[in-house]
Structure 1
């Protein structure tokens, strides 16, 4: 959907990320990962290379989200894995 000034209001159809099927190895490089705690709202970036080194590149994003632990309050349930798309020129 385009705005009257040709600004994209929604991402293109091919950019939807399915967390159950998407693995770290197949996630495009222009996506940055962040973790957010539902209890204390603490948010931190996740370094993809560190996760791949520790868990392997076949780890799905849904499994990674279930493994997140907050470093602020120690919460282990319901934490969010957020994906941010970097601008590409």
Structure 2
């Protein structure tokens, strides 16, 4: 896809992840998972190995987002998951 100012953009599906079907085991290792609380805006890195060790390895990312609880304020509703792709060498 071409940007109107000449910047070449990747198609939307190039880096897209289906959060309803992707689990921690099917998510490529170069993705880093962050969680953000909607109430207090605290953001933290989610260690996928810790989550998988607790038996949630086959949990979809959408279900994982529903189970998030903020450690600062205790909020359980509306918390967000963010994925960041690390550069691959």
Instruction: State the TM bucket, normalised to the shorter chain.
Output: 0.7 to 0.9
TM-score scaled by structure 1? 0.86
* Counterparts of 1:18 and 1:75, CA distance in 2: 25
Q: Deviations over 1:18-45 (max 9, x none)?
A: 1001111100000000010001000000
Counterpart of 1:47?
47
Per-residue deviation, 1:14: 3.5
1:16, CA displacement in angstroms? 1.0
Alpha-carbon shift at residue 88 of structure 1 (Å): 1.4
What's the TM-score once normalised by structure 2's chain length? 0.86
- Aligned partners of 2:41, 2:58: CA distance in 1, in Å? 28
Query: Structure 2 stretches of 5 or more lacking a match?
Result: none
For residues 53 and 64 of structure 1, the distance between their equivalents in structure 2, rounded to whole angstroms, comes to 14
- Per mean C-alpha deviation after superposition, the further-off stretch among 28-37 and 51-60 is 51-60
User: Equivalents in 2 of 1:29, 1:8: separation in Å?
Assistant: 26
CA deviations 1:45-65 (Å, max 9, x no partner) are 000000000033211100100
* Alpha-carbon shift at residue 87 of structure 1 (Å): 1.0
Give 5+ residue unaligned stretches, structure 1. none
- Considering only aligned residues, what root-mean-square deviation do their CA atoms show, in Å? 1.7
